[in-house]
A and B are shown apart, each in its own frame.
Chain A
Amino acid sequence: MKKLLALLLVAILALSLSLFAFADTITSLDVPATETGNVNVTVTDTRSPEEIPVTYNVVVEWEDLNFTYTITGDWDPEAHKYEGDWNKTFANITVTNHSNADVKVDAELSGDVTKNSVTASLSNDSFTLDSAVGTTYGDAPNQNITVNIDGNPDTTNTTFELATVTVTISKVD
């Protein structure tokens, strides 16, 4: 009887020395040998959507908003203007959303807007940026707001402030 029990225990021990695979079951393995398997990861968040805090990270980046008009010609008595050229007629403001929620972006000008026959205006001044979830930092959702300048100044040798750009960020319901 004791011999029978001993034989039974040896058999159980021999069977327990089998190898375990995470995915495929290995039925035989030569030594030496190599075996690979997939590593699967499951991420779960047990909180409800309302419990997940939203931390916003929005970047506002703007180009040089100084515009220079150089007078190159004579006074035009009919137009009441000096002939000349702008160094540039627009500049961009880039808004990037690194948040885990969508954001609504609106831009507006405040101040004189039109002064000394020069007018500032905005293009693409309202848009929505998607959440950055699923993107890399460098590919985060972004769009440009363009500040445009138009007109020939009717004054000389002066520097004046035309407007301030306010970028308003709102959450998206």
Chain B
Amino acid sequence: MNYSILPQEDYKKKIKYRKNEFRCYSKKQLKERYPNKDYKVVGETKYNNKKEALGTLRAGGETYSVSQVKSNSRILWAERGYAAVGKDSYVVLLKSRIPFLLILFGLLIGFCVCLALLIRMLVFGPPDLPPLHPLPGVDSYVESMTDDPTIKNPTPAEGGGSVAMIYQLKASLSLSSGQIGIYFKNPNASNHDVAVQLYIVSGDKEILIAESGLIEAGYSLNRLDMIENAATLQEGLYEGKFKVIYYNPETGERALVESDINDVLITVTE
């Protein structure tokens, strides 16, 4: 069946399919014209209607396929207008709800996120944001240097500092206990605290296998715990290095200077 939109003077609604615009009745107008609902809807159409066609509708120079009423889902398509095609006969003009649904979905997601953050703030308090270089806690294995002949260095001036490192180029790792014996001292001559990392060097790769907590000036460290699953090692000798990071004891800031100590011989035993 071929239909054409009959012009009516009291069309108040405009519908646009791509660049094609034409006039029709709104739902409200139809209810006012037909309080007893004595009109007939012969079909429905939309832009690029793929449903089984009962006919066509000619409008604004374009032809649209007309399918059975309610053949298109009303969740995705809304009835936006009614075009007169005969006496008391109309074709429903549909428009997509998808843009609206996407906006609604986005707003819903945003609302849920805000609600979750609010609940988190109220229940757990504000988020704990660690600084870029957090100050480690004092290492539990440190020992006071009772034989340190050096005198306590004064608090470092802003921006400056001094670290004396006493060490031996060896480390012994026990695979069964996961403990690493080292020789490292941070004497009183230092005015910065330090933390020590132990790496295994394999070609261009450096693999971190242990790191200490804070070693304050006047303290030594002779033991580290291997980081779990850091590497799979076998008994034998490995090349390693210490990385020594300096921390200002007054501000807790990490210094702009640090040291690498190469040529550490790591002996791995069972």
Interface residues in chain A, defined as those with a beta carbon under 8 Å from any beta carbon in chain B: 53-66, 93, 98, 161, 163-171
Whether A63 contacts B159 by the Cβ 8 Å rule is: yes
- Report yes or no: B169 in contact with A57, Cβ–Cβ below 8 A: no
Q: Which residues of chain A are within 8 angstroms of B168 by Cβ–Cβ distance?
A: 53-56
CA–CA, A16 and B262, complex, Å = 65
| Residue among A53, A64, A93 with most chain B CB within 10 A | A64
Question: Does B166 interact with chain A (Cβ within 8 Å)?
Answer: yes
Q: Let me know if B258 is at the binding interface, CB within 8 A.
A: yes
Set of chain B residues within 8 Å of A61, measured between Cβ atoms: 160-163
Task: With both chains docked as a complex, state the minimum distance between the C-beta of B109 and any C-beta of chain A, in angstroms.
Answer: 36
Pairwise interchain contact A66-B159, C-beta atoms closer than 8 A: yes
Is residue B167 contacting chain A, with contact meaning CB distance below 8 A?
Answer: yes
**Closest beta carbon of chain B to A86's beta carbon, Å:** 14
CB atoms of B257 and A168 under 8 A apart: no
Q: Are A63 and B160 in contact (CB under 8 A)?
A: yes
Closest residue of chain B to A162 (Cβ to Cβ) is B256
When distances are taken between beta carbons in the complex, the residues of chain B under 8 Å from A66 are 158-159
CB distance from A154 to the nearest CB of B (A): 22
Kindly report which residue of chain B lies nearest to residue A64, judged by CB atoms. Answer: B159
Extra 11 A-B pairs, beta carbons < 8 Å, given A57-B164, A60-B163: A53-B168, A54-B169, A55-B166, A55-B183, A59-B162, A61-B162, A62-B161, A65-B256, A164-B257, A167-B260, A168-B259
State in angstroms the CA–CA spacing of A158 and B227 once bound together: 39
Partner of A164, one of B163, B189, B258: B258
Q: Name the residue on B nearest A96 (C-beta).
A: B164
Asked if A165 and B159 make an inter-chain contact with CB atoms under 8 angstroms apart, the answer reads: no
Given A66-B158, A171-B263, also A58-B257 (CB < 8 A): no
Give every chain A residue within 8 A of B257 (Cβ-Cβ).
Answer: 60, 62, 65, 93, 164-167
Closest B residue to A59 by CB, please name it: B164
Residues of B contacting A63 with CB < 8 Å? 159-160
Looking at the assembled complex, report how far the CB atom of B189 sits from the nearest CB atom of chain A, in whole angstroms: 7
Known: A53-B168, A164-B256, A164-B258. A170 touches B263 (CB 8 A): yes
Chain B CB within 10 A, most for which of A93, A163, A166, A169: A169
User: How far is A56 from B183 in the complex, measured between Cα atoms in Å?
Assistant: 10
- 14 A-B pairs (CB sep. < 8 Å): A55-B166, A56-B165, A56-B169, A58-B259, A59-B163, A61-B161, A62-B257, A64-B157, A64-B159, A65-B160, A65-B257, A66-B158, A166-B257, A169-B260
What residues on A are CB-neighbors of B164 within 8 Å? Answer: 57-59, 98
Which chain A residues lie closer than 8 Å to B262 at the CB level? 168-171
A54 to B170 alpha-carbon distance, docked (Å): 10
B261 within 8 A of A: yes
B167 and A56 within 8 A (CB): yes
Complex interface: chain A residues within 8 A of B261 (CB)? 56, 168-169
